[in-house]
Amino acid sequence: MPLTLAFLVFFVLPFLGGLFLSFTEFTTVEDASFVGIGNYVKAFSTDSGFINALIFTVKFTVVSVISVNVLAFLLALLLTKPLKGVNFFRTVFFMPNLIGGIVLGYIWNVIINGVLSYFGVDITFSADYGFWGLVILMNWQMIGYMMIIYIAGLQSVDRGLIEAAHIDGASHMKALFHVTIPSLMPSVTICTFLTLTNSFKLFDQNLALTGGAPGRETSMLALDIYDTFYGRIGWQGVGQAKAVVFFVIVATVALLQLYLTRSKEVEV
Amino acid sequence: MRKLSILLAIALLFSLLTGCCQRDGGGNVQETVRFLNFKPESASVYEEIAREYEKETGKKLIVETAAANTYESTLTAKMATREAPAIFQINGPRGYANWKAYCKDLSQSRIRDIVTEDSLLLRTDEGVFGIPYVVEGYGIIYNDEIMRKFFALPDKKTDISSADEINSFDKLKEVVEEMTQRKKDLGIEGVFASTSLKPGEDWRWQTHLMNIPVHYEFEKNDIDLATDEVSDFNFEYAENYKKIFDLYLNNSVTEPKMLGAKIVGDSMAEFALGKCAMVQNGNWGYSQIKEVGGNKVNAEDVKMMPIYMGIDDEDMGLCIGTEGYLAVNKKMDEATQKAAEDFLYWLFSSETGKRYVTEGLGFITPFNTFSEEETPDDPLAKEVVSWMNKEGVDTVPWDFTIFPSQIFKNNFGSNLLQYAQGTKKWATVKDETVKDWKSESGR
């Protein structure tokens, strides 16, 4: 009961308030006038940048979900082998995750611009630089975290099963793909869920690394919503409408992904 | 466990409720005026002012400051809370359009009566809604020491023999280009400081420099700036803008392709360290020049000239105006509104207040309560005042307050960067700017 109350007050009410605001024109949340679905029409009009941001975000998410998970898994495999200094390396790889996004964004901005300056350009020169810069940044930050989850998963895989597979004549590769990975599916579920939603909702890193440059070409959804809300007078409602659409997209994608990977999990 | 969670939930609710009630119970507490300050660099001075004000009048003032570039978002957030500011800043007609519902008509206030020129007020047919509080000017800041060094070169080709003689774009170009050829002799890395074009750091070009073609176009076509007519802009002086912008790019400390990483602070540091001779900026930039460690510029050598771009050069003065208007929040109760107006009047008319304004904040003010001597003591502020009073030149007003939106400015800024990097043609920049102006004006 108290939990329901807290849920109502701190989640459901603000959410409904936000939903209501997306159908209004307002300056501050106190005085709003109803405009129907006008905000949604504007949000999807060509010059609002929302569609571009959506395409860019989807591309970014696909690339980084795959790269983060593959690399994190390989690192986890490596760091569950009996090597010297394993704990030290685990800590080192996990560290970037503890640094705030804005700081990371600025650090990488300096690093990437430093490298690109040898070619006489900088990160604002082309949207591709911004895109790959964001991918590198995302990998650098998320790999350590995902690696820890995979390590935990790997350590709980039943050694007996793998040994049994080897006795049955399975190669290392076969044992990996047919025994280890299937019993790791719960870790895969949680890791893809985290990387997927985090990539979709990326904001700080985007703001600090490219700020959307060149033009608005590297603006992701969250940054586009922020710019719409604060950058244009009278567009606050449109920003709100975009935020609602954003919520629907993130929720749908995340639920779909959970359903798909869950169905691949096996009971041992 | 269950008991604990009940307890926690009740505690949470309770703290919310007490938050709401505090105000109703506080009838005996005197009115507190909240002021949301726009200038982060002045935050500490305002705090001193608040202390002094309380000591002198016994009234309480709370000054809060928005971080750089976040004023609108901070204001939007604060307005919806119980701690809404009684005094806030709007940046001209566009800002007024957004905050209409909150701006009190100040035409009957005492502070309105001490403004020297009515044209400076933020007015509509219905009343006066914003009080200008600081007049600022910008142009091309130059280091006269380097200029003198150049003019003293025995084998210089140009006939011009002092920076004062530069009074048109052609003369500026002649001098700048020869200085670039001789930069080794002058000990500089470029004539102009970097054209900072990093997103968020490009306001000197997308707002300030753009002000000039916009002003002259609207003036030529007799556009009434208070009407809807301003939503048509054709960038007729695009070629003039290109001329001066090219001059900045080609005679700069930094390669054009590298400008996307430069910030305003870099440019001001280059100027302060004597790596360049000129930088486009305003009188507020002097504090930045002064603070740079290893500063090589003498205060008496810091001068300013108008940004000539070949439109109306002989009559041109500095760009002088204001984009800061103070407004009083009409959604506050009567007593707080009154207290807010009292504070503003005190700040700009009492001896103590005026001293803080000229010495602490360093403002050139548009109020008749300030005498000739009560102007700030930095060289650029003096340049602005002397250009303001100069015979035979017209100051260019700050018409950029009618630019359609922040998005317009950001788009123009990123187009300028792409032009500088060579990935966009000037004709495209021009077309997109005209189109953006229209669409951002709601056409």
Cβ contacts of B152 within 8 Å, gap of 6 or more: none
Question: Which of A:30-89 have CB within 8 Å of B?
Answer: 30-31, 47
Q: Which of A126, A214, A230 is facing B72, going by the closest CB pair?
A: A230
Average pLDDT over chain A, rounded to whole?
88
Domain match, B126 and B144 both:
no
pLDDT tens track for B392-434:
888 899 999 889 888 899 889 989 999 999 989 999 999 999 9
Within a domain: residue B380?
no
B350 touches chain A (CB under 8 A): no
Residue B121 tokens, joined: 């007020």
Burial label for B371, CB within 10 Å (0-12, 13-18, 19+), is exposed
- pLDDT tops 80 at residue B1: no
- Residue contact A215–B415, C-beta within 8 A: yes
Phi, psi dihedrals of residue B182, rounded to the nearest 5°: -100, 20
Q: Are A64 and A199 in contact (CB under 8 A)?
A: yes
Among the residue ranges A16-25, B9-18, B19-28, B38-47, the one predicted with the least confidence is: B19-28
Cis peptide before A214 (omega within 30 of 0): yes
Domain limits for position B145: 137-321+397-440
**CATH superfamily ID and name for A37-267:** MetI-like (1.10.3720.10)
Q: Is residue B177 part of a domain?
A: yes
Answer for the pair B365, B347: CB distance below 8 angstroms, yes or no: no
B401, two tokens: 């307050």
Task: Choose among B152, B175, B154: nearest CA to B278.
Answer: B175
3-state secondary structure of A230: helix
Q: What is the CATH number of the domain that holds B259?
A: 3.40.190.10
B260 touching chain A per CB within 8 A = yes
Confidence at B24, pLDDT banded by 50, 70, 90? very low
Same domain, B45 and B108: yes
**What distance in Å separates the CA atoms of residue B224 and residue B228, rounded to the nearest whole number?**
8
Residues 169-208 of B with CB under 8 A from A: 197-200
Number of domains chain B contains: 2
Q: Does A126 touch chain B (CB under 8 A)?
A: yes
- Name every chain A residue with its beta carbon within 8 A of the beta carbon of B423: 125-126, 214
A233–B contact, CB cutoff 8 A: yes
Cβ-based neighbours of B8, under 8 Å, separated by 6 or more: A2
pLDDT over 90, % of chain A: 44
CA–CA distance, B405 with B94 (Å, rounded to integer): 8
pLDDT tens digits, B116-137: 888 788 988 889 999 999 999 9
Kindly determine whether residue A233 and residue B97, on different chains, have CB atoms separated by under 8 Å.
yes
3-state class of B320 per DSSP?
strand
pLDDT band at B25 (very low <50, low <70, confident <90, very high): very low
- Rounded to an integer, what distance in angstroms lies between the CA atom of residue B152 and that of residue B150? 5
Residue with tokens 């709601």: B442
Task: Kindly give the residue spans of alpha helices, DSSP state H, lying in chain A.
Answer: 2-7, 13-21, 38-44, 50-78, 86-94, 101-116, 127-155, 159-167, 172-175, 181-183, 185-200, 204-209, 221-231, 236-262
SS3 (DSSP) at B281: strand
Q: Is the pLDDT of residue B21 over 50?
A: no
Give the C-alpha separation, A256 to B8, whole Å: 35
Amino acid making up residue A105: G
Decide if B3 is inside a domain. Answer: no
Q: What pLDDT score does B8 carry?
A: 56
Residue B376, domain member (yes or no): no
Instruction: Give residue B432's pLDDT.
Output: 93
Can you give the pLDDT at residue B10? 57
Answer yes or no: do B191 and B326 share one domain: no
How far is residue A266's CA from residue A150's CA, in Å, rounded to a whole number?
Answer: 16
Q: Decide: B83 and B334 in contact? Cβ < 8 Å.
A: no
Please check whether residue A164 is in contact with residue A127, taking contact to mean a CB–CB distance below 8 angstroms.
Answer: no
Q: Do residue B9 and residue A47 have CB atoms under 8 angstroms apart?
A: no
Residues B46 and B168 both lie in one domain:
no
Question: Is residue B248 included in any domain, yes or no?
Answer: yes
Let me know whether B82 and B178 are in one domain. no
List of chain A residues whose C-beta atoms are within 8 Å of the C-beta of residue B196: none
Q: Which residues does residue B327 pair with via DSSP β-bridges, in sequence order?
A: B88
Residues B78 and B104 in one domain: yes
Q: Between these two residues, B264 and B17, which has the higher pLDDT value?
A: B264
A111-170 pLDDT per residue, tens: 998 898 888 888 888 889 999 999 999 999 999 999 999 999 999 888 888 888 888 888
Residue A28's nearest CA partner among B74, B88, B408 is: B74
> Are B308 and B340 in a shared domain?
no
Q: Does residue B390 lie within any of the structural domains?
A: no
> Which residue pairs, CB below 8 angstroms and at least 24 apart, start in B73-77?
B73/A229, B73/A230, B74/B36, B75/B36, B75/B99, B76/A27, B76/A28, B76/A230, B76/A236
Can you say how many angstroms the Cα of residue A246 is from the centroid of all Cα atoms in its chain? 13
Pair (B268, B288) in one structural domain: yes
Residues 6+ apart with CB under 8 A from B188: B146, B179, B253, B274, B275, B276, B277
**B192/B308 same-domain check:** yes
Q: Retrieve residue A137's tokens.
A: 């940044």
Q: What per-residue confidence (pLDDT) applies to B226? A: 76
pLDDT digits (tens, 9 = 90+) for B323-350: 889 999 999 999 999 999 999 999 999 9
pLDDT in tens, B89-119: 998 888 888 898 899 999 999 999 999 888 7
Please give the Cα distance from A130 to B354 (Å, whole number). 49
- B275 and B411 assigned to the same domain: yes
Contact, A148 vs A87, CB < 8 A? no
The mean per-residue pLDDT over the stretch B160-186 comes to 94
Domain membership flag for residue B422: yes
* Residue B143 in domain: yes
Cα–Cα distance, B88 to B86 (Å, whole number): 7
If asked whether residues B313 and B350 sit together in one domain, one would say no
Segment B375-386 shows an average pLDDT of: 88
Domain definitions of chain A by residue range: 37-267
Torsion of CA B365, B371, B372, B375, to 10 degrees: -40
Query: Structure tokens of B359?
Result: 């010495």
Spatial contact of B105 and B128, defined as CB atoms under 8 Å apart: yes
Structure tokens at B35: 């002021």
B348 plus B412 within the same structural domain: no
